[in-house]
Amino acid sequence: MGKIKDDLNAAMAKDPAARSKLEVFFTYGGFRALFRHRRAHWFYKHGFKRIAQIISARTRKLTGVDIHPAAEIEGGVFIDHGVGVVIGETAVVGRDVLIYQGVTLGGTGKDTGKRHPTIEEGVMLSAGAKVLGPITVGAHSKVGAGSVVLKDVPPHCTVVGVPGRIVKQKDKRVDEQTIQQLPDPVQEEIKRLRERLDRLEGRAAKAAMREADEE
């Protein structure tokens, strides 16, 4: 019950459009999704996994928010305009986290065990942000809209872009020469293909030279 009260208080504090707790309770899809998730999580922890999964499935249908019943979510979390939010099985979300629509706390398909992110206290995840893999977003950090984060983020940072890069740390801009670039799998694949093409062109050139010498 304490976490539900914290969720209501968070909605009132973080949404300037919220006029009353009663309004939040009955009309906010993000709050309803968290409210129902806390019931599903209780059943999941106590061995009633099928009931938990049924609650989770109905919540997804009613609110557009997909939270696995095993996900651990602390109190004071606010999901604003929550349609499209996905929170995976081993995700952990700390207190006072703000999550906007379209956010994914997902896996990469390459990990076992802990496969989903840990979001520490006071983090803001903007619309469409994707945080993938068993990584940690440090306390009071911000992830920009549409960003894709694949690597740990220290506390008090601002991350933007695809792939995500740290542009601020403790309210100070990060110098471009020392900016922390997160892995870009597309660029790495392009680099690999270029290197292979160079090798093939080299072999073709040598073969052409041998044929010219033989003639």
- Average pLDDT of the segment spanning 37-64: 96
Structure tokens at 62: 């009613």
Q: How much of the chain is helix, strand and coil, in % rounded to 5?
A: 40, 20, 45
74-119: pLDDT as tens digits: 999 999 988 999 999 999 999 999 999 999 999 988 878 899 999 9
- Average pLDDT of the segment spanning 135-143: 95
Distances (CA, A) of 203 to 102, 145, 190, 192: 48, 46, 20, 17
Lowest mean pLDDT among 32-36, 156-160, 190-194: 190-194
pTM over 0.85: no
Stated length of the chain: 215
170-207: pLDDT as tens digits: 777 875 555 445 455 556 667 778 888 888 888 888 88
- Average pLDDT of the segment spanning 138-142: 96
